[in-house]
Amino acid sequence: MKKHVVPVSEIGRARRVAAPERAVPATGVLLDRLSRPLTDLRISVTDRCNFRCSYCMPKEVFDKDYQYLPHSALLSFEEITRLARIFATHGVHKIRLTGGEPLLRKNLEVLVEQLAAIRTPQGAPLDLTLTTNGSLLARKAEALKAAGLNRVTVSLDGLDDTVFRSMNDVDFPVAQVLAGIDAAHAAGLGPIKVNMVVKRGTNEQEILPMVRRFRGTGVVLRFIEYMDVGATNGWRMDEVLPSAEVVARIAEEFPLAPLEASAPGETAQRWAYRDGGGEIGVISSVTQAFCHDCSRARLSTEGKLYLCLFASSGHDLRPLLRGDADDAQITSAIGHIWQGRSDRYSELRALRGPDTDAAAPRRVEMSYIGG
């Protein structure tokens, strides 16, 4: 099979951002062209991961010869914190650390401590969360909590060890991820969310075992439709199991009742067990697009700002950070970028069908900007 090479320059294409002439002051509320506020920033701290899940970093592409970003290209913790502080003045009150696998970034708890010191214009601390594959969580949970992390989300695509090892494609045992979840619970990093990407024909048989395992534990289990993110995962519509079918399967054994969204812009539709056993969520970006109230921006580990998970290009903030731009100029630059945003990829996909145009711009990889 011919090797599929994806240069870093292709994965992280972005426009260089210059200091704007017109100021956009921070008012605590920044709206895009569709009147969506900026409230949620997802920060990738590394482009590396120790798993090779086929839907994110398939081994055929991300092999031993793959060229990751050099350390000098990555934003320092101080640069990330500076940007986060500026984003907070524009209304961001939730920051999620992602990757790659964020716990591979050395001394990550130092960054967490810096971010935990940031306050919103109203004087409130940020809601500081982290998404992880759980492989290193057992040894990191206590330090992360002590540094100021509020919550964790753990990616777990099945409980059957054979299925799980096959999906992570590095033969990593499910027991160690479960130990990480237990450690996060013991450290007080909750409520914990567990995300399961459901791929028809691969792990759909794990839906009910996952429900039985986490129901009544306080863990919020969420099922994510297999998405057409990036260009390397070989996505096909016939491998998508619609969330409506997931809910129906669960409801046959455990009756469910719909819940209201926990916050504006929430990605998951929430369902409660009628007997009080907790709740589940489904994230349906393929079959039920939620672009209309998306309030999330994504920052790559080298300082490129993306306005959509399915974006083909971003905005490179690093020249401003490492140049002579002051905070006011960076604040204005971010303001201009968000005010010009009109992204709604999933809604447009639903109207025209999956994008099969080979000439279409390559979408950014999920491993590069986080899910």
Query: Is 278 a domain residue?
Result: no
Q: What is the pLDDT of residue 98?
A: 97
Query: Is 260 a domain residue?
Result: no
Model pTM score = 0.90
Is omega for the bond preceding 191 within 30 degrees of 0, making it cis? yes
Q: 42 forms bridges with which residues in the sheet?
A: 96, 298
**Domain count along the chain:** 1
Q: What is the pLDDT of residue 123?
A: 97
Mean pLDDT, the chain, rounded, equals 89
Q: What is the pLDDT of residues 304-321, one digit of tens each?
A: 999 988 787 899 999 999
Query: Is 277 a domain residue?
Result: no
Span 160-171, mean pLDDT? 95
Q: What is the pLDDT of residue 235?
A: 60
Q: Which residue has the tokens 């067990």?
A: 273
Q: What is the pLDDT of residue 348?
A: 74
- Which amino acid makes up residue 136? L
Query: Is 285 a domain residue?
Result: no
Between helices 243-253 and 207-214, what is the axis angle to 10°? 60
Query: Is 19 a domain residue?
Result: yes
Q: What is the pLDDT of residues 69-120, one digit of tens each?
A: 999 999 999 999 999 999 999 999 999 999 999 999 999 999 999 999 999 9
Instruction: List all residues 6 or more positions away from 210 whose beta carbon is below 8 Å from its beta carbon.
Output: 156, 158, 159, 194, 196, 221
Confidence at 210, pLDDT banded by 50, 70, 90: very high
CA–CA separation, 297 and 39 (whole Å):
8
Q: What is the pLDDT of residues 321-370, one digit of tens each?
A: 999 999 999 999 999 999 999 987 666 766 666 554 444 566 677 677 77
Query: Is 79 a domain residue?
Result: yes
For residue 336, the domain's CATH number is 3.20.20.70
- Residue 54 reports pLDDT greater than 50: yes
Query: Is 274 a domain residue?
Result: no
| Domain membership of residue 100 as a residue range | 8-252+291-369
- Of 300, 305, 325, the residue nearest 316 (C-alpha): 305
User: How are beta strands 304-306 and 314-316 bridged, if at all?
Assistant: antiparallel
